């Protein structure tokens, strides 16, 4: 069984009259270590789909199975633990905490389980070196460039060795050169770590770096290439 199975996910938002149908039986599968891009016009449901796959929102119908488990069957504390343990997120905004150093920010996913141990701190340092921030570990987010903040976000997302890395417009706030660098870093880190990666992007350049491309069209997820 593939590590990630998204099976006929439909999402409707209730309105005063008929419900707004955003996703219509969207399905996709990823094997361990595979990656894919999801493209589509603004408002087509890309973030909605990524949020459902990331267990931040639930489908109206259909299922998501990650490593053989159906996270929507869990109660909220168990779901939060499952999400923290198995899914890493990179958003358009970095969501780094301004009062913490870069290293402390990268350690945040481990803090949910108590104070990070020496091995986890070592892991955070290694990741920061791998994303090119070896000299920036004690800096505050405000002292970094936009591209560097996204690199720190990538390191944070990978800390607990998630099975699945989800990125929603990860280069959307960056200039062209930084966007290209962060895009290639994401793919390099995904390959190095062996995680699955799904990237929602407007950037044809970033989408082209990924092995497969899906497009959302009228709520349907269509494989374009790969
Ligand atoms: P994308 O990320 O592709 O730009 P979104 O997934 O954010 O698109 O949104 C898809 C559509 O769903 C939009 O029309 C948006 O207004 C609508 N939508 C998103 N969240 C909600 C919600 N909680 N309630 C009602 N409509 C929503
Ligand atoms: Mg979006």
The residue whose C-alpha atom lies closest to atom 13 belonging to ligand 1 is: 43
From 10, 43, 51, 170, give the residue whose CB has the most ligand 1 atoms within 8 Å, as the site to mutate.
43
Q: Whose CA is nearest to atom 26 of ligand 1?
A: 13
Q: Please tell me the residue having the least CA distance from ligand 1 atom 27.
A: 13
**pLDDT at residue 113, as a whole number:** 76
Cα→Cα distances 196→16, 80, 163, Å: 39, 19, 6
What is the length of the chain? 226
Query: What is residue 137's predicted lDDT score, i.e. its pLDDT?
Result: 98
User: Distance, CA 43 to ligand 2 centroid (Å)?
Assistant: 7
Name the residue at shortest CA distance from atom 15 of ligand 1.
43
Structure tokens at 208: 């082209």
Give Dmax over CA atoms of the chain in angstroms: 56
| pLDDT string in tens for the chain (226-residue length) | 899 999 999 999 999 999 999 999 999 999 999 999 999 999 999 999 999 999 999 999 999 999 999 999 999 999 999 999 999 999 999 999 999 999 999 999 999 878 999 999 999 999 999 999 999 999 999 999 999 999 999 999 999 999 999 999 999 999 999 999 999 999 999 999 999 999 999 899 999 999 999 999 999 999 998 8
Question: How confident is the model at residue 136, as a pLDDT?
Answer: 98
Would you state the structure tokens that stand for residue 63, as one six-digit string?
């299922």
Shortest-distance atom of ligand 1 to CA 15: 25
Q: Which ligand ends up closest to the CA of 49? A: 1
Look at residue 2 in the predicted model and tell me its pLDDT.
94
List of residues 6+ apart from 203 with CB closer than 8 A: 171, 179, 183
Ligand 1 binding pocket mutation candidate from 15, 16, 48 (most atoms within 8 A of CB):
48
pTM here is 0.96
| CA–CA distance, 87 with 66 (Å, rounded to integer) | 9
DSSP 40-99: --TTSSHHHHHHHHTTSS--SEEEEEETTB-GGGS-HHHHHHHHHHHEEEE-SS----TT
Q: Which atom of ligand 1 is nearest to the CA of 48?
A: 6
**3-class DSSP state of 149:** helix
Residues having CB within 6 Å of any atom of ligand 1: 13, 20, 22, 40, 42-48
DSSP for 8-37, written as a single string: EEEEEE--SSSPEEEEEEEEEEE-TT-EEE
Going by CA atoms, what residue is nearest to atom 5 of ligand 1? 45
Q: What is the pLDDT of residue 225?
A: 85
Distance from the Cα of residue 59 to its chain's centroid: 18
**Dist. CA 160 → ligand 1 center (Å):** 30
Instruction: Please give the C-alpha separations between residue 47 and each of 133, 144, 168, in angstroms, as whole numbers.
Output: 28, 26, 7
Chain center to CA of 219: 20
Q: Which phi and psi angles does 68 have, rounded to 5°?
A: 80, 0
> What is the token pair recorded at 61?
């119908």
């Amino acid at each position: 069984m593939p590590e990630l199975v998204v099976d006929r996910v439909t999402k409707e938002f209730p309105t005063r009259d008929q419900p707004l149908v955003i996703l219509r039986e969207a399905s996709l599968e990823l094997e361990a270590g595979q990656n894919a891009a999801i493209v589509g016009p603004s408002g087509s449901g890309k973030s909605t789909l990524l949020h459902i796959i990331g267990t931040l929102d639930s489908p109206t119908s259909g299922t998501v199975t990650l490593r053989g488990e159906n996270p929507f069957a869990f109660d909220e504390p168990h779901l939060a633990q499952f999400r923290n343990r198995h899914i890493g997120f990179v958003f358009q905004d970095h969501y780094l905490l301004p009062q913490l150093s870069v290293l402390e920010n990268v350690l945040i996913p481990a803090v949910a389980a108590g104070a990070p141990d020496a091995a986890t701190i070592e892991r955070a340092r290694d990741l920061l070196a791998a994303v090119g921030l070896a000299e920036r570990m004690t800096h505050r987010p405000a002292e970094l460039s936009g591209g560097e903040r996204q690199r720190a976000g990538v390191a944070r997302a990978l800390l607990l060795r998630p099975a699945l890395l989800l990125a929603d417009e990860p280069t959307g706030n960056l200039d062209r050169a930084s966007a290209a660098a962060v895009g290639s870093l994401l793919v390099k880190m995904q390959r190095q770590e062996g995680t699955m990666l799904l990237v929602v992007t407007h950037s044809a350049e970033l989408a082209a770096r990924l092995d497969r491309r899906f497009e959302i069209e009228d709520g349907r997820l269509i494989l374009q290439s790969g």
